[in-house]
A and B are shown apart, each in its own frame.
Chain A
Amino acid sequence: MKSVGARAVAGLGLCLLIAGSRAAEPVRPQQAQSDYAYLSPALRTLQDDDFANPGMLWVDRGQQLWSEAAGPAGQSCQSCHGAASVSMRAVATRYPAWSPAMGRVINLEQQINRCRVGRLKAAAWDYESEELLALTAYLSRQARGLPVDVRIDGPAGLSFERGRAFFYQRRGQLNLSCASCHEQHAGSHLGAETIPQGQINGFPVYRELWQTMGSTHRMFAWCNEAVRAEPYPPGSQDYVDLELFERWRGGGLLIETPAVRR
């Protein structure tokens, strides 16, 4: 009697321990699907066309910039990193990432500017500038076909938590959170358009509405303004945190850069 009881308690304790440790790990709320799945056939064809995809114009430009000398020493990215197809192959899958030097999580654009300012001693590129979009697109393109794989443990944990809180926080005059549309109503219609999950595995994207390339921060600002909330500045930690959460949310999705979206 006594041994059975002890074993039962131990078994229950073990179950609770397992359940408890699982609950500690964040659970992805839904089956992740790229926004590509919500595109019309014409736009899918355009994205798949390696020649005619307008985003490739920025990728080409990025390739030029990779070997273009900048700064007083006349060095380029290539001077240290060599061929991007080799050295940058999986880099985009890891960003946003914790930067020990900066003491915070930074995204790919910020890492590029860190190298430009810190190593090349050249001027940083502005958000949404042709150069920064081009080089970000070029580097992300090197990782095309690889699954997004960001780390949310250790020092990146706080950033992840803030990003997750942002995603579920209602804001703006319309009082909607990202989740209100992209989680609760993904697949439903907003007017005549289908609401996607809002994954960011294809960024920087060529967005038809903008008739140009755009970054994740521009997308977040657009969405915030769409619910009549004041957008955060590009490069703000709020948006970098959100970016980290979004990348984790779409973990396992393959990098599609440059994606084409409505």
Chain B
Amino acid sequence: MKRREALLAISGGVLLSVLPLPGVASDAETAEAIRLLYGERMLNPGRVTLKLPALAESGNSVPLTLDIDSPMSGQDRVMRASIFASRNPRPLVATALFGPHAGTPSFSTNIRLSGTQDVIAIAEMSDQTLWTSQVRVLVTVGACDVLQMRF
């Protein structure tokens, strides 16, 4: 029994060292992800309200609410909005496009966070300006942490 348990522990350790661990995005990679979608335009702080819990017990499901200050008229509306998690292996989390029948330019969802980091929201208006806001979230157990178990 002891030998078997020892073998299990050793093989578990080998598994951990052999499997590729998910990376952590750098500020440059996050900036690149933003650039890919929104180009080189300036990010103006404001008009975007991003709500996330200050402390997330499980990085697997962090509730997020995005609210943008816009009249949603024909001339002045939100075209699209994106969420970026600055330290996730893949910073881009989701992009929302608000159609003609959107009520308010807001939506809620649950996101995955790999660890403590800043979550950034960017909104693109019909006049091509970009507005942004960010929230720091403390994460207890990250979503990408590889489960070293069979169950």
Binding site for B on A (CB under 8 A): 39-43, 45-46, 172-173, 192-193, 208-209, 211, 218, 221-222, 225-226, 228-231, 262
Q: Are A42 and B57 in contact (CB under 8 A)?
A: yes
Q: Tell yes or no: B63 within 8 A of A by CB.
A: yes
B147 — which chain A residues lie within 8 A by C-beta? 209
Q: Tell yes or no: B62 within 8 A of A by CB.
A: yes
Contact of A42 among B62, B149, B150 (CB under 8 A): B62
Docked CA distance A226–B8 (Å): 12
B56 — which chain A residues lie within 8 A by C-beta? 40, 42
- Nearest-neighbour CB distance to chain B for A52, whole angstroms, equals 8
B87-122 toward A: CB 8 Å interface, digit per residue (1/0)? 000000000000000000000000000000000000
Contact A225 to B150, CB < 8 A, known contacts A43-B57, A209-B60, A262-B58: yes
B5 — which chain A residues lie within 8 A by C-beta? 172-173, 228-230
Tell me which of B6, B9, B58, B140 has the highest count of chain A C-beta atoms within 10 A of its own C-beta: B58
Interface size class of B (residues with CB under 8 A): 20 to 34
Contact A225 to B149, CB < 8 A, known contacts A46-B61, A193-B141, A209-B60: yes
* Other contacts beyond A43-B57, A228-B5, A230-B8: 18, CB < 8 A: A40-B55, A40-B57, A41-B53, A42-B53, A42-B57, A42-B62, A42-B63, A45-B63, A46-B61, A192-B140, A193-B57, A208-B58, A208-B61, A221-B150, A222-B149, A229-B5, A230-B5, A262-B57
Docked CA distance A184–B11 (Å): 31
Q: Are B141 and A228 in contact (CB under 8 A)?
A: no
Q: Are B60 and A225 in contact (CB under 8 A)?
A: no
- Nearest-neighbour CB distance to chain A for B113, whole angstroms, equals 12
- Nearest-neighbour CB distance to chain A for B106, whole angstroms, equals 16
5 sampled A-B residue pairs with Cβ under 8 A:
A41-B53, A221-B151, A222-B151, A225-B150, A226-B149
Q: Are B140 and A193 in contact (CB under 8 A)?
A: yes
Docked CA distance A262–B6 (Å): 29
The 8 closest A-B pairs by CB, nearest first: A40-B57, A208-B60, A208-B58, A222-B151, A221-B151, A192-B140, A262-B58, A173-B5
Q: Which residue of B lies closest to A192 (CB)?
A: B140
